[in-house]
Amino acid sequence: MTIKKLPQKLLYTQVVGSSVAKVLKLKENYSNLLAKKIENIQKIINDSGKFKLHIKTTTRGFFYKQIIVPIGKKNANKFMASFSSHIANINRALKNIKLDIMIDYVWPEPISITIVTSKVASPSDLQVIENFVKNIENINSEEIETSRLPQSKSYLKIISIPYFIENSNISISSDFVESVIKSNHIFNNLSLASKLQVIKALPKSNIAIVWIDIWDAQSGYKAKNIINRSFNIGSFIATIHNTNMNPGVPQYKNCWKWGYSTFLC
């Protein structure tokens, strides 16, 4: 005599977490469930394929409620010395001309100040804030560049530059190179994202490499417009090349001199 096994009932949790085919057995296995309950379970499973996972990340993107005002190191120090009164005065000026934007706070950068506002600034907002900064007492307005919203950075290097100024024993400085490129039309409408870095190509070489970071669009079109272009520094012809992000000027750990990679001395 053979014993016929009774069909085993599925657990409720097994049915809900299983395939659609098994869900169809709900009525058979759980005949006492209300029709409304079964309908809700089927709806949950049918909609599960439409669910899109949104991954949360702590990676910081561009904060567009910022205004970057390139004003130079000295101007930035002067501004930050009395930043509380400057913020109050700018907010008062914005309110008087009935603009619905206010400055929340400000912090200094190496060659600029970053102003955080209550909303994304319009071109007219940028102009008003920039004009106010230019009119602050003891601020050199000639060193202030056009204010802008946050942008991407492009990393470039300038090669074939002599390490010493022509007909002298004075090594070129970042300020000297910056004055040259600012007077050249190739660099029109470009803003430096950080201070230029000048290093020797090799320890015993008289040729330098200049690392230059510029503010750019995400597509990098500003950098593309000047890559492989050449210009004069004295009687020498320098060329602009693309490069990876520059981590900083290296320092050799044996002689503790700056300007060349750690495996050379």
Tell whether the model's pLDDT for residue 31 goes beyond 60. Answer: no
Number of Cβ within 10 Å of residue 156's Cβ equals: 20
The domain of 203 spans 152-242
Same domain as 163, residue 139: no
The verdict on residue 1 lying in a domain is no
238 and 156 inside one domain: yes
* 57 falls within a domain: no
191 falls within a domain: yes
Give 133's DSSP letter. Answer: H
Cα–Cα distance measured from residue 163 to residue 207, given in angstroms and rounded to the nearest whole number? 5
Domain assignment present for 206: yes
Task: Determine the Cα–Cα distance for residues 60 and 37; give it in Å rounded to an integer.
Answer: 44
- Indicate whether 129 and 172 sit together in one domain: no
Q: What is the pLDDT of residues 57-115, one digit of tens each?
A: 333 444 668 888 989 889 999 999 999 999 999 999 889 988 889 999 998 888 889 99
Residue 178 falls inside a structural domain: yes
Q: Are residues 42 and 80 in the same domain?
A: no
Please write the tens of the pLDDT for every residue from 13-29.
454 444 555 555 555 65
Nearest to 259 by CA among 160, 170, 166, 163: 163
* Mean pLDDT taken over the chain: 77
Q: Is residue 258 part of a domain?
A: no
Task: Answer yes or no: is pLDDT of 55 > 90.
Answer: no
Number of domains in the chain: 3
Whether residue 41 has pLDDT greater than 70: no
Confidence (pLDDT) at 221: 85
Residue 118 and residue 65: Cα distance in Å, rounded? 7
Share of the chain above pLDDT 70, in %: 68
User: Does the residue 56 lie in any domain?
Assistant: no
Is the domain of 132 the same as that of 156? no
Residues 195 and 165 in one domain: yes
Is pLDDT of 50 > 70?
no
pTM: 0.47
